[in-house]
Structure 1
Amino acid sequence: MRIATYTAKGETFYGAITDDGAIALSPDFAQWPTLYDVVAAGALEQLVEAAKDRAVTHTEFDYEMVMPSAPRILCVGVNFPDRNAEYKDGSTQPKYMSLFPRFASGFTGHNRPLIRPPENHTLDYEGEVAIVIGKGGRRISQIDAYDHIAALTLCNEGTIRDWVRHAKFNVTQGKNWDKSGSIGPWLVPFTDASQLDDARIITRVNGEVRQDDVLSRMMFPIRREIEYISTFMTLQPGDIIITGTPTGAGARFDPPKYLKPGDVVEIEVEGIGTLINGVEDEQ
């Protein structure tokens, strides 16, 4: 089942996505105004059940960032061995993972353009799997970590590269330009470890494969991410963790291959879907 946030005829809904169109479910669940509220209430399975045997309500609609009201989005940086090697600093696998926050305003939805700002044109792509926490907790063990995941989605963790170098010890401003990245197209309920353990992530730019790796090669597997993050903060239902990107981002080519208007980026993971975005300059 695929659950998305979308807009049709000027109104925003959440609901199920089928091959024939969207099934609006939000009108029947007024107690949960957004998809974030559904996840926070532990009610995603109720949406799945409600969608069964229902007719399509919208055949024309636009996807939104899948959880546009998500208040906490945490990203894991440099999480594949080849990605670590790209830095050419001679470092081996670090003892602890790199983390930084992103805000919902920095993301758009599937089939919507990533926005390149006039201040800087080093807009880059990063294909990643994102997990949505369904059950909160503190000091969660790796053995129990998957029990805390409600759903999976995809992320293009778009970055303005020059702006991550504006200061000595931060990346926040380069990672949070409005609509520089995307999350979607939808949530896929998490039911089985194989959805993550065997997942292969592929990023294409204008049809050319730029990133291609499997999540089992992560330096910090998702179980470890949940364990580590929940050590210092209590994870809450609706939190999003963006789990890390493979080698092959545009900044690492010589010369760099930054995104420009007209480019199309596709991020694909079998069993989750394909997240597609064009690129436009800010108007």
Structure 2
Amino acid sequence: MRLLSYEVQGEPRYGVLVGEGVVDLSSRIGRDFPDMKALIAGDGISAARQAVAGAMPDYALGQLALLPPVPAPEKLWCIGVNYRDRNEEYRDNSDLPKYPSLFVRSPSSVTGAGRPIEKPKVSEQLDYEGELAIVIGKGGRHIPREAAWSHIFGMTLANEGTIRDWLRHGKFNVTQGKNFDRSGSIGPWIVTSDECDPRGPHDIVTRVNGEVRQQDSTERLMFPFDFLIHYLSTFATLKPGDVILTGTPTGAGARFDPPRWLKVGDVVEVESSAIGVLRNTVAAEQ
């Protein structure tokens, strides 16, 4: 199933993609599962399948304003330097890391597919980072690697938009440059694990105005999805609806000489063949 969250006349709702239309679940099973997080936490997939069976779409996909598939995850984890060539990009002669780099984003720092991502007033260095993201279904603590796959509800896509000069404001963190409002995006939908096996392999491609900037495969991850779930759950309880952005390949704008920052009007597309395309246009902060 392809599950998505959206707004209708300013009201948040969620549903299932069927062809080019959307069957609304809020009106069908919303009493039991009021939003996407509740559906995930309540193991509501069977109810969703029954609600969709034989139903005609309520909306055309193109008429909806999409939200991030999980609009308010408790935790939005971000993994840095996870593809093998990314470590070499830093040109510091460092060994491959023993543990993943990790930071968090707030839900307000991302928007949905089709909505503008914002170039802030205070910086010219808005950059893109195309990523695969996994959505936690079954929560837990101290999850062993061999059990990790069963904790994945599904997969989605992310543009982990970054304000590069603000990354260097702190000595030991990158939080400032990663949390500008609406600087990144997640979507367009979650493809559930029964349709899109997280074990992969999965491709990931990022384009800016149609030009391929990033391209790689999860076969080249230093820390695979099962390891990330095991590692994160060692120190934090994972909750249903938590989202893990699993790292970006080489080729971000900062790595060009000179750097190629995003400009107002640029179109960024993140694609994976088993999931779809996350597309956003850059707009100026209002």
Q: Give the aligned partner of residue 15 of structure 2.
A: 15
Correspondence for 1:183 among 181, 186, 193: 186
CA distance in structure 1 between the aligned counterparts of 2:35 and 2:283, rounded to whole angstroms: 28
Alignment of 1:229-268 (within 5 A): 229-268=232-271
Superposition deviation, residue 8 in structure 1: 2.4
Superposition deviation, residue 191 in structure 1: 2.1
Secondary structure (helix, strand or coil) at the match of 2:14 reads: strand
CA distance in structure 1 between the aligned counterparts of 2:176 and 2:84, rounded to whole angstroms: 25
CA distance in structure 2 between the aligned counterparts of 1:53 and 1:76, rounded to whole angstroms: 40
Correspondence for 1:74 among 72, 77, 80: 77
Secondary structure (helix, strand or coil) at the match of 2:59 reads: coil
Q: How many residues align?
A: 283
CA distance in structure 2 between the aligned counterparts of 1:196 and 1:124, rounded to whole angstroms: 29
Secondary structure (helix, strand or coil) at the match of 1:267 reads: strand
Superposition deviation, residue 196 in structure 1: 3.9
Alignment of 1:206-245 (within 5 A): 206-245=209-248
Correspondence for 2:86 among 71, 75, 83: 83
Secondary structure (helix, strand or coil) at the match of 1:46 reads: helix
Correspondence for 2:149 among 126, 146, 149: 146
CA distance in structure 2 between the aligned counterparts of 1:45 and 1:115, rounded to whole angstroms: 38
Q: Does 1:137 align with 2:140?
A: yes
Superposition deviation, residue 195 in structure 1: 4.2
One-letter identity of the residue aligned with 2:260: K
CA distance in structure 2 between the aligned counterparts of 1:167 and 1:44, rounded to whole angstroms: 43
CA distance in structure 2 between the aligned counterparts of 1:190 and 1:20, rounded to whole angstroms: 21
Correspondence for 1:114 among 114, 117, 135: 117
CA distance in structure 2 between the aligned counterparts of 1:193 and 1:230, rounded to whole angstroms: 23
1:156–1:182 CA contact under 8 A, matched in 2: yes
Secondary structure (helix, strand or coil) at the match of 1:219 reads: coil
CA distance in structure 2 between the aligned counterparts of 1:51 and 1:234, rounded to whole angstroms: 32
CA distance in structure 2 between the aligned counterparts of 1:239 and 1:265, rounded to whole angstroms: 24
Superposition deviation, residue 276 in structure 1: 0.3
Superposition deviation, residue 3 in structure 1: 0.7
Superposition deviation, residue 50 in structure 1: 1.9
CA distance in structure 1 between the aligned counterparts of 2:153 and 2:37, rounded to whole angstroms: 11
Q: Give the aligned partner of residue 171 of structure 1.
A: 174
One-letter identity of the residue aligned with 2:26: S
Q: Does 1:104 align with 2:107?
A: yes
CA distance in structure 2 between the aligned counterparts of 1:180 and 1:44, rounded to whole angstroms: 31
Superposition deviation, residue 156 in structure 1: 0.5
CA distance in structure 2 between the aligned counterparts of 1:43 and 1:265, rounded to whole angstroms: 33
Superposition TM-score, scaled by structure 2 size: 0.95
Deviations 1:22-53 (A, max 9, x none): 11111222232221121122223432332121
One-letter identity of the residue aligned with 2:3: I
Secondary structure (helix, strand or coil) at the match of 1:276 reads: strand
Superposition TM-score, scaled by structure 1 size: 0.96
| Higher deviation after alignment, 18-27 or 249-258 | 18-27
What's the C-alpha RMSD, in Å, of the aligned pairs?
1.3
CA distance in structure 2 between the aligned counterparts of 1:37 and 1:192, rounded to whole angstroms: 20
2:112–2:186 CA contact under 8 A, matched in 1: yes
Q: Give the aligned partner of residue 272 of structure 2.
A: 269
CA distance in structure 2 between the aligned counterparts of 1:146 and 1:202, rounded to whole angstroms: 24
1:146–1:193 CA contact under 8 A, matched in 2: no
1:68–1:105 CA contact under 8 A, matched in 2: no
CA distance in structure 2 between the aligned counterparts of 1:223 and 1:130, rounded to whole angstroms: 13
CA distance in structure 2 between the aligned counterparts of 1:182 and 1:211, rounded to whole angstroms: 17
| Percent identical residues | 50
Secondary structure (helix, strand or coil) at the match of 1:197 reads: coil
Alignment of 1:47-66 (within 5 A): 47-59=48-60, 60-66=63-69
Please list every run of at least 4 consecutive aligned residues from structure 1 whose deviation after the TM superposition is greater than 6 angstroms: none
Q: Give the aligned partner of residue 43 of structure 2.
A: 42
Provide structure 2 residue ranges, at least 5 long, that are not aligned to the other structure. none
